[in-house]
Amino acid sequence: MTLSLIHALRVLRLSQSFILEAEQAHEQSVNGLTRGLEIQGRVFSSSCVESLSVHQIVFLLSFKGPRLRPSEPAEEKDMRKVLLGAVLMLVILLILALVVGRFGLMPINADGAHSSLEARIMPQVLHASIVRHAATATNPLAISEENLKAGASTYKDMCARCHSTPGHNPSAYGQSFYPPAPQLSGGMPNYTDSQLFWTIKHGIRNTGMPAWGSMLSDDEIWQLVSLLKNSQDLPPSVESEWQATKNRPAR
C-alpha cells in the first residue's frame, strides 16, 4: 500500500514536502505507533492513516480541521497542575485550621489522653529544635563532688517536684502536665552537655518546663548538667543527698 499511496500522491501533483510528510506518517504507522501524528498542522492517529485509502488521505489532508495551538511542553503543564494542587491544598488546610480554632474544636485540657501521633512526633520536633539551637560549648566546670552536690541541692529545690528523682516514682505533679514531665534518668544520653544546658536555661514553650535562665546562674545550670550526665555514677554522698527527695504520691 505504501508505494501505491505515494505514487498516487505524486500523480495528484502534491508538493514534494507534502509527499515527504505523508511518507513519514505512513512509515510511523507501519511501525505500529498509535499516537497522534501531525500532518500539515492537523492531527491524525497513525493507525488510522495506515488503514486509509489514497482518496481518504487526500481528503483528510485537504480538510480544514482545527490547527494545533503551539503546544506547551508536557512537563510545564504537569508542573503547573502540581503547583495548583499544592496551593489549593494549602488554602484548604488554612481554612480547616481557622474553622477548628474559631469554633472551639481544639481540645486544650491538660488531663486528656496524649494522642499517639503527638506522642511520636513532638519529642522528635523538640529534640531537633534543641540540637539546632544549642551551641557546641563544653561544660566549663570540673566534675567534682562539690559541684555534683551543689547540682543535687538545686535539683531537689527546683526540679524534683516535677521530674522526680531517678529511683523514685514519677511525681504526680509532673504527670499532670501535658505533655507530662519525664523522669530525667539514665545519664540523658540523647543530649550533649550543651544541649542539656540550653534546654534548662531556655525552657520548652507551651509546656510546664520553665526557662531557668531567669532564676539560676549559668554555673548553677552547668552543675545540674554535670549531675544529670553523671547520674549513674555518683559518689555516695551526692547520691544520698539526691535521693533524700520526697514527692507527693499520685492520688
**Binding-site ranges for ligand HEC (CB under 6 A):** 126, 158-159, 161-163, 174, 177, 179, 181-182, 184, 196, 199-200, 204, 207-209, 212, 224
Strand partners, 36: 45
DSSP 20-40: HHHHHHHHHHHTT--SEEEET
Q: Which residue in 217, 242, 216, 215 sits closest to 227, CA to CA? A: 242
Residue 74: its H or E element: helix 74-102
Q: Which residue in 35, 63, 64, 65 sits closest to 50, CA to CA? A: 35
Q: Which residue in 238, 236, 218 sits closest to 228, CA to CA? A: 238
Q: What share of the chain is helix, strand, coil (3-state, %, to 5)?
A: 55, 5, 40
**b/e per residue 203-241 (b: at least 16 CB within 10 A):** eeeeebbeebeeebeeebbbbbbbbbbbbeebeeebbeb
Give me the residue whose beta carbon is nearest to ligand HEC: 159
Nearer to ligand HEC, 29 or 231 (CB): 231
d(CA 153, CA 150): 5
Nearest-approach distance from CB 185 to ligand HEC, in angstroms: 10
Cis peptide before 179 (omega within 30 of 0): yes
